């Protein structure tokens, strides 16, 4: 039961976010109106994504220091979870942009930076698939993962603040929290971030277990073949 508590928490919190996200009270703001509910999805998903990618980078560093393949397993699967959330963030952001700015993908530095960031991480997946040797794949992809996160954060958070952007906190616009994050929003936003983080961890855990099982099966097959020989 101890191993299940966080999965039960994930399900409970996720349903709370869904129900409150569509039915709970929200501030009435000009232009944004009811679309502010997307805060619980778009914003929360991206925050969870950043945390997962950061933790993935930490495990890539741990692999380079210790050479333990389990650290690479964790890093790669957390990165895949982060990429999955990243694409969900792009989809929900495009939906929000269409209602707020009249275009699902306007020429905005932050949106373009997000697209570039996702391409950088897709290249990470292609890089991993190009090596058959496990240790070589882990070593090279760990270095790339550190590089990817180091570039991704400036692209989506720092550079848009240096130019004109439609997003809050960029291009002279007010910060997100200064005009639309009140206690009503926080009561759902923070649980939403937790829920998406747990979903990402859950997905990563399942894939890590699959990798371990596959590795054990391959070792048994090799041992069985050597005994027969």
* CATH code, 191: 1.20.120
Query: Tens-of-pLDDT digits for all 229 residues of the chain?
Result: 457 889 999 999 999 999 998 988 877 766 667 778 888 999 999 999 999 999 999 999 999 999 999 999 999 999 999 999 999 999 998 888 888 778 888 888 888 889 999 999 999 999 999 988 889 999 999 999 999 999 999 998 888 777 776 666 554 444 455 445 677 888 999 999 999 999 999 999 999 999 988 888 877 666 555 555 5
Asked if the structure places residue 228 within a domain, the reply is no
Asked if the structure places residue 130 within a domain, the reply is yes
Domain limits for position 12: 5-218
Asked if the structure places residue 225 within a domain, the reply is no
Whole-Å CA distances, 30 to 33, 79, 168, 186: 6, 37, 14, 19
Asked if the structure places residue 226 within a domain, the reply is no
> Total domain count for the chain?
1
pLDDT of res. 176: 52
pLDDT of res. 178: 47
Asked if the structure places residue 229 within a domain, the reply is no
Asked if the structure places residue 24 within a domain, the reply is yes
Asked if the structure places residue 205 within a domain, the reply is yes
pLDDT of res. 30: 64
Asked if the structure places residue 193 within a domain, the reply is yes
């Amino acid at each position: 039961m101890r191993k299940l508590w966080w999965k039960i928490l994930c399900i409970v919190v996720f349903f709370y976010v869904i129900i409150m996200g569509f039915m709970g009270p929200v501030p009435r703001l000009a232009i944004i109106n009811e679309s502010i509910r997307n805060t619980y999805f778009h914003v929360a998903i991206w925050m969870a994504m950043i945390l997962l990618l950061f933790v993935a980078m930490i495990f890539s560093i741990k692999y380079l220091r210790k050479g333990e393949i389990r650290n690479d397993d964790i890093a790669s699967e957390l990165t895949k979870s982060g990429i999955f959330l990243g694409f969900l963030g792009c989809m929900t952001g495009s939906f929000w942009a269409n209602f707020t700015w009249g275009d699902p993908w306007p020429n905005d530095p932050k949106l373009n930076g997000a697209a570039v960031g996702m391409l950088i991480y897709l290249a990470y997946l292609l890089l991993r698939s190009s090596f058959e040797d496990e240790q070589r794949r882990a070593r090279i992809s760990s270095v790339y993962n550190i590089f990817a996160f180091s570039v991704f954060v400036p692209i989506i958070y720092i550079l848009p603040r240096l130019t004109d952007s439609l997003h809050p906190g960029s291009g002279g616009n007010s910060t997100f929290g200064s005009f639309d994050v009140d206690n009503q929003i926080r009561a759902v936003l923070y649980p939403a971030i937790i829920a998406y983080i747990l979903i990402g961890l859950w997905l990563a855990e399942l894939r890590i277990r699959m990798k371990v099982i596959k590795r054990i099966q391959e070792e048994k097959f090799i041992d069985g073949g050597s005994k027969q020989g």
